[in-house]
Amino acid sequence: MEQINKIELLGTVGSVRLQNVADKRMAKFTMVTNRAYKNKEGAPVIETQWHNVTAFEGKNVQDLDRIEKGRAVHVWGRLQVQHYTGLDGSDRTAVDIICNRLDLIRQGEEIQYEM
C-alpha cells in the first residue's frame, strides 16, 4: 500500500525568520489561509487557520529573501508532527509544514488552482 504525506496551501505570509543552518539557508514563516462559507442560517463565515512553514533553499524553493509579511504564497510540502512537554509540564503538539516547493505570487496576479 502506498502512503502519502502531502499538503498544498495557498495563503498569505505572517511573520518570517531567515537563518543559516549548516551550509543551507532556511526560512521559518507563518502563513494564514481562510475558508469562506455560509452557516446553517445563511450568514457568511470566514474560518481562519494559521500554519507554521519551514523552507530550505534549493531547486524548488528559491528567493527566500522575497518572502515577506503580507505576500501571497503557494506552498507544497509534507506535514511533520512533534510532541513535546511544555514548560508548564503539559503535553503539547506542534504541526509544521516542511516545504518542498514554494511559489511567490505577484501582487495583483490572478491565482489559478484546482480542487
List pLDDT tens digits, range 29-82: 999 999 999 999 999 999 999 999 999 998 888 888 889 999 999 999 999 999
Residue 100 domain boundaries: 7-105
Ranges of beta strands (E only) in 6-90 are: 7-21, 24-38, 44-56, 72-85
- Residue 1 covered by a domain: no
| Distance separating alpha carbons of residues 40 and 18, to the nearest angstrom | 43
The overall average pLDDT reported for the chain is: 90
Chain length of the chain: 115
- Residue 44 covered by a domain: yes
When divided into structural domains, the chain yields a total of 1
- Residue 114 covered by a domain: no
- Residue 113 covered by a domain: no
The dihedrals phi and psi of 73, each to the nearest 5 degrees, come to: -135, 155
- Residue 111 covered by a domain: no
43 sits in the region (left: phi over 0; alpha: psi -120 to 50; else beta) called beta
Contacts of 31-40 spanning 24+ positions with Cβ under 8 A: 31/73, 31/75, 33/9
**What's the whole-model pTM score?**
0.82
- Residue 43 covered by a domain: yes
Calculated CA dihedral for residues 80, 72, 47, 37, nearest 10 degrees:
-120
Q: Any idea what DSSP says for residue 87? A: T
- Domain CATH code at residue 68: 2.40.50.140
